[in-house]
Structure 1
Amino acid sequence: MKILRNVLMSLSLLTLAACGFHLRGSDLQDVRFGFRSIYLKTQGETPFVAELRRTLTKNKMEPVATTAQAELVLEIVSEKTTKQILSLSGSGRVREYQLGYRVSLRAYDQQRVEWLPQDDVQLTRVLTYDDAVILAKEQEEAQLYKDMRADAVAQTVRRLMRANPQQE
């Protein structure tokens, strides 16, 4: 019985590997950028900025300390989270929330030539809510925001990979 289980597990793993399955977050490997150095112009060291720095560093693109050292400046214009009531129960209690996360950014070089025009990375998730499990729902909400932040970092890196100077 144990041998059969091990064989089935091995076949399952082999099938997943053969179909091209990758764990979430593992798709940002062997990243190639069209620039050699980057400066992150931000309004503070938010969790998004810290995760973006880590991701860039992991992909051999160490952010520099000043704009003079950078070939490209990535400006994080704004970062915002939202929480709106999506649906109510018959008794008027909240049943679902819509969580939102938006990062506005743009990229330009030393001559202020746009590489990425100002654009938003927008993500939404639905959080079901129940008063009976408030602590669990708070943790789930925090995890959803963390996941959206990670997705926004991945989208930002993908945009940077495709970034080129805009022709006027």
Structure 2
Amino acid sequence: MTLPRSSIPRRRAWLQLALGATVLGLSGCGFALRKAPTFAFDTVRIQGMEGTQVSRELRDALQANGLRVLTSATPASGAGVPAAQAILTVLVDQRERVVVGQTAAGQVRELQLRTRFVFRLRTPTDKILIDDVEMLLERDISFNETQVLAKDAEEAMLYRDMRSDIVQQVVRRLAAVKSL
């Protein structure tokens, strides 16, 4: 069924009106896209478990947001290197794979993947900015021994997703610190 030519401009005008009303409605309710985070500090030192995947991705995310990130490979201060204004200590960064479902014959049917990350943020004078925070993310995955390669790829994807989710949460928490 085709529309008569005279109704097409009218229909387009209604669509434009509806789109305009939607945009005005969203702006009026306080909706705004998430902006890049701003931090109360310019330099942060990551210490603790800095060689793990989450710590490396966190370092990259902080650098991408304009922070200077120091590690154990960076001198503490001097020689043109500023002292860290905040110290992020990674206490726990672990991945777990737990069997949560089995058949009557004892074959694994369901797994739970967990990523646990614990950190704290303090100043060089030991003022606590963020006390110990534990993040635990869990994902369930079915398992079938005939699809081992596909399930390994799915497991790697889920761990990667959890890792990036933790990094985003940590960055938002660091941005929530308003003063040193």
Please give the TM-score of this superposition, normalised by the length of structure 2. 0.73
Q: Choose from 41, 47, 60 the match for 1:41.
A: 47
Aligned equivalents of 1:62, 1:48: Cα separation in 2 = 18
- In structure 2, the CA distance between the partners of 1:162 and 1:44, relative to structure 1 (3 Å rule), is closer
Equivalent residues of 1:39, 1:67 under 8 A apart: no
Residue 80 of structure 1 deviates from its aligned partner by 0.9
| Residue matched to 1:161 | 175
RMSD: 2.7
Checking the alignment, whether the CA contact within 8 Å between 2:42 and 2:68 is kept in structure 1 is no
Distance 1:50 1:126, change over 3 A: same
Matched, 1:150 2:164: yes
Q: Summarize deviations over 1:71-114 as a string: whole Å, max 9, x none.
A: 10000011111111111224332111011000110010011000
Identity among equivalent pairs (%)? 27
- Indicate the residue corresponding to 2:6 in structure 1: none
Aligned to 1:3: none
For 2:8, the equivalent position in structure 1 comes to none
SS at 1:63's partner residue?
strand
Change (3 A) 1:60 1:165: closer
Selected match of 1:61 from 47, 64, 67: 67
Long gaps (5+) in structure 2: 1-15, 28-32, 78-82
Counterparts of 2:75 and 2:88, CA distance in 1: 12
Q: What is the Cα deviation at residue 66 of structure 1?
A: 4.7
Q: Over alpha carbons, which structure has the higher Rg?
A: 2
Q: Measure, in 1, the Cα distance between the counterparts of 2:54 and 2:156.
A: 14
Q: Deviations over 1:30-67 (max 9, x none)?
A: 11112221111123411111111111111111203355
User: Equivalent of 2:115, from 101, 105, 118?
Assistant: 101
Q: Which amino acid aligns with 1:160?
A: L
Q: CA–CA distance in 2 between the matches of 1:145 and 1:103? A: 13
Describe how 1:1-168 pairs up with structure 2 within 5 A.
29-64=35-70, 65-66=74-75, 68=77, 69-164=83-178
Residue 44 to residue 30, structure 1, CA distance change in 2 (3 Å): closer
CA distance in 2, matches of 1:45, 1:62: 18
Question: 1:59 is matched by which residue type in structure 2?
Answer: N
The normalised TM-score by structure 1 is: 0.78
8 Å CA contact retained: 1:39, 1:66: no
The size of the alignment, in residue pairs, is 148
